[in-house]
Chain A
Amino acid sequence: MRWATRAGCHVDRAACAWLIHRFIDGGAVFLFVAAPDEVPGDATPFDMPGAPLSHRGGGCSFETFLEHFDLVDPVLTEIAKAVHEADLGDERYDVPEAAGLDVLIRGLSMVRSDREVLELSGPLFDGLYEYRKRATLLGRDPS
């Protein structure tokens, strides 16, 4: 399937692309467009004003994805809190690593193309998932 989002990927779009690739559509192909009206008819838009898979009810697009695709996974819920705070910073959740996540991906987007940002941030989210999974099993932060 083809998925389209706005060019200039930051944390929410990078996290959504990782989620799509790993949990929704293993063969996902991503397109980057300047505006919602440039999305081709066969592509699903996300994280763009007007698209259903976007910010909803004060939440970020990653949170909308979890709800829309019924992804019930406590580890993804934890990652969603980090993405929410990194993207919106409204202190709905207490996630200290969110600030670092925002800076790292924002910095990456300054030196790499959108495609590379998604490729490079994928393993970062894999690692975050593994860390949160272990933390959930252990009941404390793993070392």
Chain B
Amino acid sequence: MSESGMWVLLEYRLPREPSTPRIALWRKLRGLGVAQLLDGLVGLPLDSRNQERLEWIAQEVVEAGGTAGVWFARPGSAGQERALAARMAEGVAQEYVSVIAAAHEADAELPAVRARTLRRLRRQLGRIRQRDYFPPPEREQAQRAVEALAAALEPSS
């Protein structure tokens, strides 16, 4: 792909105090897997869901006494977009690696404990997938590690 795609950006400014809305905002943005472009400027690949989510967050920032706006933008070059995508992929890759490690550790657990770990890891994978816009190879590996855990449980259940 030689042409860069459209992104939706959120610019925001929140008072330093109280800190609760700042922390809530930070958690929300992190959950969405945004790319932090600058202090107070984050972006996501444009689709209707991402646009809506950033619009709601903008409204919450304003309600918390800050200022915010939503913008559409296109990276100036495909290379710039690739670099951004690589940075985002690296972030989720680390999360997948922690799932793989947890799945391997679960091998030593008792079946009942392992079943609980399996449910937890499947949910965790689901959460990570929601913010995984540029899937790294670790995604497949993590899925395989978790499904291997499921397969190992089958005979005894």
Interface positions of A (Cβ within 8 A of B) = 8, 10, 49-50, 54-55, 58, 89-91, 99
Contacts and interface: CB of A to CB of B under 8 A. Distances in A.
Interface size class of B (residues with CB under 8 A): 10 to 19
B31 A49 contact: no
B126 interface: yes
Contact of A55 (B24, B31, B56): B56
A91 B27 CA distance: 13
Q: Would you call the interface of chain B mostly helix, strand, loop, or mixed?
A: helix
Nearest to A54: B59
B130 interface: yes
A10 B130 CA distance: 17
Contacts of B127: 89, 91
Contacts of A50: 59
Given A8-B48, A10-B49, A90-B31, A99 B126 contact: yes
B132 interface: no
B27 to A, nearest CB: 9
A50 B55 CA distance: 10
A99 B123 CA distance: 11
Contacts of A91: 127
A8 B126 CA distance: 24
Contacts of A10: 48-49, 52
Interface string B57-92: 011100000000000000000000000000000000
Contact of B59 (A8, A55, A99): A55
Contacts of B48: 8, 10
Given A8-B48, A10-B49, A49 B130 contact: no
A112 to B, nearest CB: 15
A17 B31 CA distance: 28
A112 B46 CA distance: 21
22 contacts: A8-B48, A10-B48, A10-B49, A10-B52, A49-B55, A49-B56, A49-B58, A49-B59, A50-B59, A54-B56, A54-B59, A55-B56, A55-B59, A55-B60, A58-B24, A58-B60, A89-B127, A89-B130, A90-B28, A90-B31, A91-B127, A99-B126
